[in-house]
Amino acid sequence: MNAPQILKAALFNDTTLTTHYGCATVLDEIILQLDRVGINIVLFWPVGDDWRPYRKELETRLETIDLIIINGEGSIHHTEERPRARWLLELADLAESADLPAFMLNTTISNVEPRFITSLRKFKGIWVRESGSKRYLDELGVKSTVVPDLAIHAVARYVKSLDYNPPSRPEGRVLVTDSAVQEVSRHLRSLANEIGATYTHMYKDSLFERRARRTIRKILPDDLLIYRKLTGVARPDVKYVDWIRRLSQYAFVITGRFHTAAFCIAMNIPFLAVESNTSKISTLVYDVFGSRNRFTEVRSLTEFYCTRKSQITDISSDEEFLLSSYRDFSLSSTELMFRMIRRGSTEWVPKSLGTSVS
């Protein structure tokens, strides 16, 4: 029997350049799971870069590619005011013109202008990471499937492995992380100071280092910049194990980061979350626990923590069951998603050929 053909993919919204531990985890998992179903990513397009000025170069590159993957993350919302969200949705139109199947995965979607509904319907498959996005797309008449954020799958798998030896968590030691929203981060930092907790951000690199990288990319010659975009060279090495080890040192986590909440879910760490720039965090909490007991609005954060501390700093037996069930769902749904991407790509019938990829 002949081995299945290795397919080539172009991936857009490569978030590893941010050195954000959660985003880097997702990208590592996408690469790993695609490889397991016989798909190699040969083009990495970085987060925050508009692909449209390079359309001609991209169309030439796509002639040797079998499918397009969009890593949606938390980028696709409020398209009226967010150019990045528009760029990602318009990739469905690029895929159509290149006669390639396009798949959007690991995404949160909300507040999309009506003109982009047609673009959404052009995707061969859409996988959202929480139920709120699915309800929103259902209302638009766009099909989607819920698969938990890929960081949960990756971290839960690692935690189960022989390489993971969790340290004993010092009782009462609390970690507070930042948020994607500056005002929320200020509240979180204030709470950390008030309760004597450690405060940190979720990036490998400092703010200065991240700004320096963006500046360097802006001054690169166009030909070199295009080469890097089309090949994926010089992608930062961000090991999510470092964030796992950091979280393992604390008994309780308070966060405004979707991916820190996801790590806590994968690692069975009790946590309290506040909302970010969309409802993705509160919806994630509800998807796992069936309630919002581990979520509060930022304006009531300090009062909520101080009055309910005894109830939330441990995981109850009911919560243990719900966390385990959610991780099992993550495992089964993730594996099915990547098999469906392989199948959808293999069965794709290019209009120009009239035959499927074999």
- Tens of pLDDT along the chain (358 residues) come to 566 789 999 999 988 877 788 888 999 999 999 999 999 999 989 888 899 998 998 999 999 999 999 999 988 999 999 999 999 999 999 999 999 999 999 999 999 999 999 999 999 999 999 999 999 999 999 999 999 999 999 999 888 875 666 656 667 899 999 998 999 999 999 999 999 999 998 877 655 555 555 665 555 545 545 545 555 555 556 677 888 888 999 999 999 999 999 999 999 999 999 998 788 999 999 999 999 889 999 889 999 998 998 889 899 999 999 999 999 999 999 999 999 999 999 888 676 555 444 4
Q: What is the pLDDT of residue 47?
A: 85
Q: At what angle do helices 258-267 and 21-36 cross, to 10 degrees?
A: 60
AA identity, residue 331: L
Q: What is the pLDDT of residue 353?
A: 56
Give the ranges where the chain is alpha helix by DSSP (H). Answer: 21-36, 55-62, 83-89, 91-98, 117-121, 131-140, 150-160, 182-195, 207-219, 222-231, 240-247, 258-267, 280-289, 301-312, 317-346
Which structure tokens are listed for 44? 């990495």
Q: For residue 163, with 0-12 CB atoms within 10 Å meaning exposed, 13-18 middle and 19 or more buried, which class applies?
A: exposed
**274 φψ region: left (φ > 0), alpha (ψ -120 to 50), beta (else):** beta
Nearest CA-CA partner of 23 in 252, 220, 205, 288: 205
The domains found in the chain, sorted by start residue, are: 7-150+331-346 (3.40.50.2300), 153-202+237-327 (3.40.50)
- Distance between CA atoms of 305 and 174, rounded to whole angstroms? 12
What local confidence, expressed as pLDDT, does residue 15 receive?
Answer: 85
Alpha-carbon separation of residue 157 from 151, 169, 197, 202, 204 (angstroms)? 10, 20, 29, 21, 22
DSSP 20: B
What is the pLDDT, as a whole number, of residue 357?
Answer: 46
Total residue length of the chain: 358
What does pTM read for this prediction?
0.88
- Complete edge-to-edge strand list for the sheet that includes strand 198-200: 198-200, 174-179, 252-256, 271-274, 295-296
The rounded distance, in Å, linking the Cα atoms of 62 and 174 is 48
Q: Which residue has the tokens 């009226």?
A: 80
- Residue 121 pLDDT: 96
154 strand-pairing partners: none
End-to-end CA separation in angstroms for the chain: 14
Rounded to whole angstroms, how far apart are CA atoms 324 and 26? 20
- The per-residue pLDDT for 2 is 62
- What pLDDT shows up at residue 277? 79
Strand bridging mode 67-77 / 7-14: parallel
